[in-house]
Chain A
Amino acid sequence: MFTQVAAPEAAVGEPRKAHRRPPLAPYLYLLPAVALIGLWIYRPMVEGFGLSFYDWNLLPTSPKEWVGLENYADVVTNPEMIAAMRNTLVYIAAGFVAAVILPTIAVLLSRKVGTRSKSVYQGLIFVSFLIPPIAAGAVWRWMFAEDSGLLWTAANNAGLDLGNIFRDPSTAIWAIIAIMVWQMLGFGVLVVAAGVAGINPDYADAAATDGAGSWRTTMRITVPLLSPTLLFLGLMAILLSAQWSFPLIDLLTQGGPINSTTNIYYLLYQLGFQSFDAGLAAAAGVVFFLLFGLVAVGFVLLSEKLNFHDN
């Protein structure tokens, strides 16, 4: 999957043909980093793969029991797992809207705003992205709180009773999604704005000279030239939406009510650290890793194609 990514590597640095032996120095410089990702990322991944065939409760004193593919069978039949996967798709769709669609619309519609005021707005829009998850969870829990929450009272004054939004299985996920959108929007806006700023205005000017209207120019010139940026944000949204929603789920609903807000990562965490079912958690981890890996490969291939637009 990474052959294309590695290709530009080629002729970095000076050719050192005189050397018969490969130099030792780069290996020494790389040693700490390689050892660290080996120890803390690849080792646990391999161990987790091994663990997925065992039943184990995480206690060093209790034995691991070989169960073969039983954990994997559990992953695909467990109703909690299926609810978590469904919710994960909802979170991904929401992440896509928050990080790709809304920012693109906002940036394209605000191109006429002067550079200076734009950077002031963008500076403010980015703030929500930097707020620590713990603070975001706490303040939004209050915004939505019955009787005292700012948003709750505003809705109430408008005749809308939000009730206890995090306790209602039909609304809780939407509240979490709203908060996620709040956190991601600023990031999306800045990345799309940078993408638009990176497009050479000559293209649009040429199109305008040829008589293309501004809508036409936007759809035929700007958006296609922006596609690598949008693809990058889209991949982020798919791979990371489940991560972004994790702290919010943990702080606000713990996956409930009745599994209506849980996602695959939260379920993995609960399996491992609350039900102490390390084998099942590991099996689920392997399955999700493969699924997301496939998506990533798809995006890499797609970006290969789209990059030809560029330049």
Chain B
Amino acid sequence: MTFAFADPGVETPRLPSKPAFGLLDTPASSSPVVTPEPDPTDQHERASARPKRRFSPGKLAGHVILLALAVFSILPVYWMFAAALRAPGDVLDQSIIPWPISFETFADAWTRIGLGEMLLNTILLSAGIAAGQMLVALLAGYGFAMWRFPGRNVILMLFIGSWLIPFQVTMIPNYVLISDLGLLGTLWGVILPNLGAAFAVLLMRQHMESFPREIIDAAKVDGRSSWNTLWTVVVPNVTPAIAATTIMLFISAWNEYLWPALVLRTGAPVLQVGIRQFLSSEGNDWGALMAASAIAALPILLLYLFLQRYIVDAFVRSGLK
């Protein structure tokens, strides 16, 4: 009974449609699914599909608006790749299609900026952050989802609250600590402070809470330990959610800007920092700059090309951070 204060809402019934971080989440995300939904946008539209009409002014206006936005979004990205594929002498050419295609600009930027090492380091960095965040979040989400225990709500609030603390408030003390640990200039200096991602914890907790209790209880009856249940029962069944979330964490880590720039000013070169330095020293060498930027964007775009559905769903589900 002494725990009643520490764990206030114990007697209230659970409202499954409102996850604990409801505000930070979109309404469309509250359905308790284990696998990512195909495409959140077509849930109800099929139901409301009216008999097809060939043409209507409203439909045309819709096409025009969406097409304009699509062009606005794609054009700079296209232009970046087009410039990178032009021959060095043609970089400033404004023909829509880069012709003749040449990889010389890429090759030049690759060797001059040292993109190979940067690319490798950035992949290691992002994969390390994403995998670490996921492992930590998996354990914590499991702890939240499977037990009630004193202090649960307080700990949950610690996670939600940490989401609201801006990075710039914590960066100076963290920089000092990383420096004291001798990790400035190392990938570990970027990875370690990023491992505890409240947002990943809350997301995994949400996924695991929608996991059927009966299966957990059956595993318990079988005499499996909670650790064993996590890895042999829960994880194999929430793999799609884990994969989608990990991809999103990877993209977020890849697009991380300020902390790598602070920790890796010297030492292990990564794309964010290397291109930034090139931009300030040779900012008008547009061909090399576009080639380097294209390489920084390419891995994410390739992921998006093949896993679009999952990536969109994961981002829309969870907001960004």
**Contact in complex: B74, A127 (CB < 8 Å):** yes
Q: Which residue of B17, B42, B136 contacts A197 across the interface (Cβ within 8 Å)?
A: B42
From B23, B72, B293, A139 is in contact (CB under 8 Å) with B293
Which parts of B275-321 form the interface with A (CB within 8 Å)? 275-276, 279, 283-284, 286, 289-290, 292-294, 296-297, 300-301, 304, 308, 311-312, 315-316, 319-321
Q: How far is the CA of A250 from the CA of B258 in the complex (A)?
A: 9
For A130, the closest partner residue in chain B by CB is B300
Say yes or no: is A66 at the interface (Cβ < 8 Å to chain B). no
The interface residues of chain B, by DSSP majority, are classed as helix
B169 touches A48 (CB 8 A): yes
* Interfacial residues of chain B within 28-74, with CB under 8 A of chain A in the complex: 28-29, 39-49, 56, 58-59, 61-63, 65-67, 69-70, 72-74
On whether the beta carbons of A22 and B164 are closer than 8 Å, the reply is no
* Closest A residue by C-beta to B135: A32
Bitwise, A136-176 to B at CB < 8 A (1) or not (0) is: 11111111010010100100000000000000000000000
* Whole-angstrom CA separation of A274 from B193 in the bound complex: 22
Instruction: Check A198–B43 contact: CB distance below 8 A.
Output: yes
Contact bitstring A17-50, B, C-beta under 8 A = 1, else 0: 0000011011111101111110111111101100
Select which of A7, A48, A194 is within 8 A of B172 by beta carbon: A48
Complex: A3 Cα to B7 Cα, angstroms: 11
Looking at B26, B47, B226, B315, the one whose CB has the most chain A CB atoms below 10 A away is B26
* CB of A294, distance to nearest CB on chain B (Å): 11
Q: Once bound together, how far apart are the Cα atoms of A42 and B231, in whole Å?
A: 30
With a CB–CB cut-off of 8 A, which chain A residues contact B22?
Answer: 5, 8, 303, 307
Interface segment, A69-77, A89-97, A284-292?
A284-292
Asked if A10 meets B276 with Cβ closer than 8 Å, knowing A47-B173, A51-B172, the reply is no
Q: Is B127 an interface residue (CB 8 A)?
A: no
- Nearest CB in chain A to that of B76: its residue: A139
Contact partners of B251 in chain A: CB under 8 A? 130
Is B106 an interface position by the 8 A CB rule?
Answer: no
Q: Is B158 an interface residue (CB 8 A)?
A: yes
**A122 contacts the other chain (Cβ, under 8 Å)?**
yes
Query: Does B111 have its Cβ within 8 Å of any Cβ on chain A?
Result: no
In the complex, the answer to whether A125 meets B66 with C-beta atoms within 8 Å is yes
Asked if residues A137 and B279 are in contact (CB atoms below 8 Å), the reply is: yes
The answer, yes or no, to whether A213 is at the interface (CB within 8 Å) is no
Q: Nearest B residue to A196 by beta-carbon distance?
A: B41
What's the count of A-B pairs with C-beta under 8 Å?
Answer: 400
Q: How many interface residues does B have (CB within 8 Å)?
A: 137
Nearest-Cβ distance from residue B231 to partner chain A, whole angstroms = 12
Q: Assess the A58–B147 pair: CB atoms within 8 A.
A: no
Nearest CB in chain B: distance from A10 CB, A: 4
Q: Are A33 and B201 in contact (CB under 8 A)?
A: yes
CA distance A235 to B22 in the complex (A): 13
Partner of A134, one of B76, B79, B293: B293
CA distance A272 to B290 in the complex (A): 31
Instruction: Please provide the chain A residues from 1 to 20 with a CB less than 8 Å away from any CB of chain B in the complex.
Output: 2-3, 5-16
Most buried by A among B61, B157, B160, B320: B320
Nearest CB to that of A16 among chain B residues? Answer: B148
User: Contact between B157 and A269 (Cβ–Cβ < 8 Å)?
Assistant: no
B236 within 8 A of A: no
B195, A36: Cβ atoms closer than 8 Å? yes
Tell whether, in the assembled complex, residue B297 and residue A135 are in contact, meaning their CB atoms are under 8 Å apart.
yes
Q: Which residue of B lies closest to A248 (CB)?
A: B257
Q: Which residues of B contact A115 (CB under 8 A)?
A: 41-42, 45-46, 49
- In the complex, A230 Cα to B10 Cα: how many Å? 31
Given A37-B162, A51-B172, A285-B166, A182 and B23 contact (CB-CB distance below 8 Å): no
Contacts of B267 in A (CB 8 A): none
Decide yes or no whether B92 CB sits under 8 A from chain A: yes
Q: Is B99 an interface residue (CB 8 A)?
A: no
Which residues does chain B contribute within 8 Å of A16, judged by CB atoms?
147-148
Residue from A34, A112, A132, A136 with most neighbouring chain B CB atoms (10 Å): A132
Distance, CA A236 to CA B164, complexed state (A): 11
Cα distance A152–B3 when bound, in Å? 66
- Determine if B156 is an interface residue (Cβ-Cβ < 8 Å): yes
Tell me, in angstroms, the Cα distance from A51 to B174 when the chains sit together. 13
B264: Cβ under 8 A from any A Cβ? no
- Contacts A12-B145, A145-B286; is A190 near B42 (CB within 8 Å)? no
Alpha-carbon distance between A14 and B48 when the two chains are bound, in angstroms? 39
Q: Could you list 24 A-B pairs, sorted by A, with CB under 8 Å?
A: A11-B14, A26-B147, A26-B152, A30-B140, A33-B140, A41-B162, A41-B198, A45-B165, A45-B170, A58-B175, A106-B66, A113-B59, A118-B66, A119-B39, A131-B297, A143-B76, A187-B320, A191-B316, A198-B27, A229-B26, A229-B27, A243-B166, A250-B261, A265-B168
Residues of chain A whose beta carbon lies under 8 Å from any beta carbon of chain B: 2-3, 5-16, 22-23, 25-30, 32-37, 39-45, 47-48, 51, 58, 60, 106, 109-113, 115, 117-119, 121-143, 145, 148, 150, 153, 182, 185-187, 189-191, 193-201, 204-205, 228-229, 231-232, 235-236, 239-240, 242-243, 246-247, 250-251, 265, 268-269, 272-273, 278, 281-282, 285-286, 288-289, 292-293, 296, 299-300, 303, 307, 310-311
